[in-house]
Amino acid sequence: MNPLLEAHPEPVLTARAMREADRQTIETLGLPGRVLMETAGRGAAEVAARMLGTVAARTVVCLCGRGNNGGDGFVLARVLHARGAHVHVVTLADASAMSDDAAANYRLLEHLAEADPAHRLHLHRLTDLAELDHLPRADLYVDALLGTGLSSPLRAPIRELVQWLNEHPAPILAIDIPTGLDSDTGQVLGAAVAATRTVTMGALKVGLLLGEGPRLCGTVDVIDIGIPRHVLEQAARQPGCAWRASDALIRQWLPRRAHDAHKYSAGLALIVAGSREFTGAPVMAATAAARIGAGYVLCACPSDVRPVLATKLTEVALLGLPETERGGIDQEDAFDVLDGWLERARALLVGPGLGRHPDTQRFARTLLERTSLPAVIDADGLNALVGFTELIPRHAQGRWILTPHLGEFRRLAGDVDLTHRIKVVQEYAQQWHCVLLLKGMPSVVGWPDGTVWINATGNPALATAGTGDVLAGLCVGLLAQGLPPTQAAVCALHVGGAVADHYAAHYGTATMMASDLLTYLPAVLRTRFDR
Ligand SMILES: NC(=O)C1=CN([C@@H]2O[C@H](COP(=O)(O)OP(=O)(O)OC[C@H]3O[C@@H](n4cnc5c(N)ncnc54)[C@H](O)[C@@H]3O)[C@@H](O)[C@H]2O)[C@@H](O)CC1
Ligand SMILES: [K+]
């Protein structure tokens, strides 16, 4: 792909948006559906051939539904047959019950089966599931039963066919979407194919990336079937759709250290964090901010915690905040100490390890109400807003990045149904007029304008204490260098996940600790992001 294209974000579509893109291409641009299907089936056959290694004399079983997903399967069957494979096509419906394009491809197979002297093409019209046992053992099974047309839990006999398919140890190639997987949420609807590989048409589908999607899809190949990029990007503006960043885009967004930079030009990140109970969080966050390139990091923590942090932080300046006799941060005295620094800071992070003392929470809220700095609100900074969420739309004004995990989000937003995570993040980011980074596997970022990003990097190694503190530090470090909150959140996630991927590639996913992210960050920034 040419570098310009690569720097484009990748659209991630819902079934409805994909159907809209199909329709737009067919009806408005005039590219016949039959041609889309031929291109889709041939692209899928290429992936099947790569999975097989050699095609000639191999046995392929294609389970085909009666819609266009099945049609893709018929084209794939024809291509692999032409390349020498023994192909068994299993259908559950007569051609008369198929979609037009699928029926046309089915009839083409019928003519080929009759004409083939080597009899390598077999069409099985299934009337009883027991007939499946007469099929030969296949080198590859193809799931062309259902794609974006799936609208409800799988009905019989498709459900049984899916279960039969999953009982076979041979590799499975899913066409467009593993049958039974909800393409908008990644939920399993009744039953779903556990594919070795998925070849999806035109653009990624949301359900391949969320929920059960990653587990059921195996490796995902997106194939270009002739739907123009602008049509896919237009379709991606529909609710429930999202985008994925590429390394090239992140490389474009990441700040470069100016050759004449000095510590203030590279931005002062002010981090309000730490408490007697939690002294690790501020260290992780502050170090991450420094490592990602903030020129000057100042960590403001309760006075009696300062000596402890001083033993752990060298490059990070420390500021002791006065405390009330009850042990929380004393609001008035704290502002006397902070005010000068708030003037010079370019970005603020409130929360890591701050604790939930009511005086501290009141101070955190007042600080957020008073400042107009771009700010990251994480962990106990978010907990201080529970019951005060009206502060968010009133003060965020697009300048805040909220970084809740699921529990913190539920405490703020109430017990929302997170089945449609994309829509929920979209809705709250718009409603709160903030950048909402909802952590999870994968994490999702909502922008105030409704754009949503699904993180493309990361792995289960991140499920360990302290990685949230590092992420918050990366966010504030990028803000301090002038990145807008929208891009800072997407970059922090993408880079943090890339470091975790680098670690996992060398050491696996079980041993990583949050501080490893800080250790390997410079190497990954240099090699993968050219910084
Ligand atoms: N021209 C197009 O629209 C193109 C579509 N393409 C392929 O076509 C697919 C979409 O095709 P369709 O819109 O025909 O839909 P599908 O082929 O995904 O499925 C539609 C059929 O499945 C049945 N069905 C729906 N829900 C069911 C359930 N819960 N249990 C059992 N049966 C159920 C429906 O009755 C319908 O007959 C895509 O996934 C892709 O593979 C691609 O070839 C690109 C071109
Ligand atoms: K499928």
Q: Is residue 150 part of a domain?
A: yes
b (16+ CB within 10 A) / e for 419-446: ebbbbbbbbbbbebbbbbbbbbebbbbb
Residue 354 is encoded by which pair of tokens? 């701050």
Residue that terminates a domain, selected from 187, 214, 244: 244
pLDDT of residue 151: 85
pLDDT of residue 6: 64
Determine if residue 18 is labeled as part of a ligand binding site: no
Determine if residue 440 is labeled as part of a ligand binding site: yes
Residue that terminates a domain, selected from 244, 273, 292: 244
Q: Write the CB contacts of 61 (distance below 8 Å, at least 6 apart in sequence).
A: 87, 88, 90, 135, 136, 138, 140, 141, 142
pTM for the full predicted model? 0.95
pLDDT 10s digits, 393-452: 999 999 999 999 999 999 999 999 999 999 999 999 999 999 999 999 999 999 999 999
Q: Is residue 253 part of a domain?
A: no
Is the reported ipTM for this assembly greater than 0.95? yes
Residue 166 and residue 56 share a domain: yes
CA of 214 to the centre of ligand 2 (A): 15
The whole domain housing 514 covers: 264-529
Residue 344 and residue 484 share a domain: yes
pLDDT of residue 436: 98
CA of 15 to the centre of ligand 1 (A): 10
Residue whose CA is at the smallest distance from ligand 1 atom 25? 150
Residue 294 and residue 422 share a domain: yes
Phi, psi of 404 (to 5 degrees): -80, 150
The C-alpha angle 188, 497, 435, rounded to 5 degrees, equals 80
Residue 360 and residue 276 share a domain: yes
Residue 303 and residue 202 share a domain: no
Residue that terminates a domain, selected from 244, 277, 302: 244
- Considering its fold, how many domains does the chain have in total? 2
Q: Which ligand is nearest to the CA of 179?
A: 2
Q: Which residues pair with 12 in a beta bridge?
A: 204, 242
Q: Is residue 478 part of a domain?
A: yes
CA distance 30 to 23: 10
CATH number, domain of 516, equals: 3.40.1190.20
Residue 231 and residue 270 share a domain: no
Q: Which ligand is nearest to the CA of 91?
A: 1
Q: Is residue 507 part of a domain?
A: yes
β-pair type (444-446, 435-438):
antiparallel
CATH number, domain of 47, equals: 3.40.50.10260
Determine if residue 312 is labeled as part of a ligand binding site: no
Q: Is residue 258 part of a domain?
A: no
Low-confidence ranges of the chain (pLDDT < 70): 1-6
Q: Is residue 255 part of a domain?
A: no
Q: Are 363 and 386 in contact (CB under 8 A)?
A: no
Determine if residue 143 is labeled as part of a ligand binding site: yes
pLDDT 10s digits, 67-78: 999 999 999 999
pLDDT of residue 298: 97
CA of 312 to the centre of ligand 1 (A): 58
Residue of 148, 154, 159, 206 to test ligand 1 pocket, by largest number of atoms within 8 Å of CB: 148
Residue 357 and residue 227 share a domain: no
Q: Which residues line ligand 1 (CB under 6 A)?
A: 22, 33, 36-37, 40, 65-70, 72, 99, 146-155, 158, 175-176, 201, 225
Residue 238 and residue 274 share a domain: no
CA of 129 to the centre of ligand 2 (A): 19
CA of 370 to the centre of ligand 1 (A): 54
Burial class (CB in 10 A: 0-12, 13-18, 19+), 127: exposed
Residue whose CA is at the smallest distance from ligand 1 atom 33? 150
Phi, psi of 95 (to 5 degrees): -55, -30
CA distances from 175 to 142, 171, 404, 464 (A): 7, 13, 35, 35
What is the position in ligand 1's atom list of the atom closest to the CA of 93? 37
Residue whose CA is at the smallest distance from ligand 1 atom 40? 69
Q: 3-state DSSP call for residue 245?
A: coil
Q: Is residue 250 part of a domain?
A: no
Residue whose CA is at the smallest distance from ligand 1 atom 36? 67
Residue 69 and residue 155 share a domain: yes
Residue 340 and residue 240 share a domain: no
Residue 233 and residue 270 share a domain: no
Q: Is residue 257 part of a domain?
A: no
Residue 361 and residue 271 share a domain: yes
What is the position in ligand 1's atom list of the atom closest to the CA of 70? 17
